[in-house]
Amino acid sequence: AQRVTQPEKLLSVFKGAPVELKCNYSYSGSPELFWYVQYSRQRLQLLLRHISRESIKGFTADLNKGETSFHLKKPFAQEEDSAMYYCALRSGGYQKVTFGTGTKLQVIP
């Protein structure tokens, strides 16, 4: 069975402070990991995926297979980063995506 764990329901940081949203997963195969973001009153949208190794809006995430983690990081938080963030795992050919419970990021001005 696949599982995604986001231990923090709420993370509050000051503007300009570093951000790290934690995500751990359990899956027996080779997973694809994603971060989705949902801004207030907007639909869920893809932020980044581990295979792309990209930086989106200053956010990065590195897949650590040893620690089964895929933490989302940003060196300097901005107010517009305030949103709900979901870590997600996609498995194999079936393409089933499992979401974590989400972390609400609140950036304090």
Partner 1 sequence: GAVVSQHPSWVICKSGTSVKIECRSLDFQATTMFWYRQFPKQSLMLMATSNEGSKATYEQGVEKDKFLINHASLTLSTLTVTSAHPEDSSFYICSARKRAGYTDTQYFGPGTRLTVL
Which residues form the interface with partner 1 (CB under 8 A)? 42-46, 51, 86, 94-102
Per-residue burial over 39-57, b if 16 or more Cβ lie within 10 Å, else e, is: eeeeeeeebbbbeeeeeee
Least distance to partner 1 from the beta carbon of 2, Å? 11
Closest distance of CB 6 from partner 1, Å: 8
Q: Which is nearer to partner 1, 7 or 14 (CB)?
A: 7
Closer by beta carbon to partner 1, 52 or else 55: 52
Q: Please tell me the distance from the alpha carbon of residue 5 to that of residue 15, in angstroms, as a whole number.
A: 26
Bridge partners of 37? 45, 85
Please give the Cα distance from 46 to 49 (Å, whole number): 8
14 Cβ contact list (under 8 Å, min separation 6) = 77, 107, 108
Between residues 11 and 97, which has the closer beta carbon with respect to partner 1?
A: 97
The least CB distance from residue 35 to partner 1, in Å, is 13
Looking at the Cβ atoms of 1 and 29, the one nearer to partner 1 is 1
CB of residue 88 vs partner 1: minimum separation in angstroms?
9
